């Protein structure tokens, strides 16, 4: 049965997208798993990372709007299926805020295709808005990507870094 994993952190620039791409590539190419990658961030950095521009007609925003079927938005790259994002997705919080069961939109869309894959990875935006909530609700697991800076370190009594 396919597992859905959201890569999250409300903080930006901590390596969510980089980790998602590397994990997906590793699972698809080293472990021969069937992988679906969903770029769920309006910044579309994951899509750009695969050379997919944000003027593609069918993307995750059109899927959420029911303008196309999820299968129609799939792009095949490096033995993975990818659904790209677009800056238009940034209106999702406002556009879908009035929908009934708005937290379950992605979960419902993934339900029919979930078992076509071993792993579905969702690259989340750096906030706790409706998109991230949808990703978490749709997921079996979440990976919270963190980034430890030197500000986490403390000096010991001798002044050395611990
Ligand atoms: N393990 C790492 N070591 C060093 N640099 C890294 C590592 N992972 C990511 N980076 C770099 O950190 C920057 C931010 O990474 P990335 O875009 O993956 O973060 P993000 O959490 O997805 O950002 P955003 O929240 O804006 O979507 C990039 O320049 C990336 O190359
Ligand atoms: Mg990112």
Q: Tell me the mean pLDDT in the region 71-77.
A: 97
Q: Tell me the mean pLDDT in the region 98-120.
A: 97
Chain mean position to CA 16: 8
**Ligand 1: distance of its center to the CA of 18 in Å?**
6
Q: Tell me the mean pLDDT in the region 1-18.
A: 94
At residue 88, the 3 state secondary structure works out as helix
79 lines ligand 1 (CB under 6 A): no
Report the chain's mean pLDDT, rounded to a whole number. Answer: 92
pLDDT of residue 1: 77
Domains and CATH numbers, the chain: 3-152 (3.40.50.300)
Confidence of residue 147 (pLDDT cuts 50, 70, 90): confident
Residue 161 has pLDDT above 70, yes or no: no
80-83 and 74-77 beta bridge pairing:
antiparallel
pLDDT of residue 55: 81
**Ligand 2: distance of its center to the CA of 159 in Å?**
36
Confidence of residue 68 (pLDDT cuts 50, 70, 90): very high
17 lines ligand 1 (CB under 6 A): yes
Residue 64 has pLDDT above 80, yes or no: yes
| Residue among 7, 13, 20 to mutate when testing ligand 1 (max atoms within 8 A of CB) | 13
At residue 97, the 3 state secondary structure works out as coil
CA distances (Å), origin 110, targets 6, 16, 100: 13, 21, 17
pTM above 0.85, yes or no: yes
Which residues contact residue 75 at a Cβ distance below 8 angstroms, ignoring those fewer than 6 apart?
50, 52, 56, 81, 82, 83, 84
Write down how long the chain is.
162
Residue 158 has pLDDT above 80, yes or no: no
27 lines ligand 1 (CB under 6 A): no
| Residue among 6, 7, 15, 90 to mutate when testing ligand 1 (max atoms within 8 A of CB) | 15
Confidence of residue 156 (pLDDT cuts 50, 70, 90): low
What residues have their beta carbon closer than 5 A to ion ligand 2?
16-17, 45
pLDDT of residue 60: 98
Task: Please list, residue by residue across 9-47, b when 16 or more beta carbons sit within 10 angstroms of its beta carbon and e when fewer do.
Answer: beeeebebbbebbebbbebbeeeebbbbbbbbbbbbbbb
Chain mean position to CA 94: 19
């Amino acid at each position: 049965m396919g597992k859905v994993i959201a890569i999250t952190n409300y903080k930006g620039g901590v390596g969510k997208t980089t980790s998602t791409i590397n994990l997906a590539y590793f699972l698809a190419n080293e472990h021969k798993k069937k992988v679906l990658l969903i770029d769920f961030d309006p910044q579309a950095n994951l899509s750009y990372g695969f050379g997919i521009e944000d003027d593609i007609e069918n993307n995750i925003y059109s899927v959420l709007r029911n303008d196309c079927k999820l299968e129609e938005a799939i792009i095949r790259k490096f033995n993975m299926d990818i659904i790209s994002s677009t800056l238009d997705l940034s209106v999702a919080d406002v556009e879908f805020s009035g929908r009934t069961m708005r937290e379950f939109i992605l979960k419902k869309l993934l339900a029919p295709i979930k078992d076509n894959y071993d792993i579905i990875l969702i690259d989340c935006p750096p906030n706790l808005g409706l998109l991230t909530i949808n990703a978490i609700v749709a997921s079996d697991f979440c990976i919270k990507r963190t980034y430890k800076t030197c500000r986490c370190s403390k000096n010991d009594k001798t002044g050395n870094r611990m």
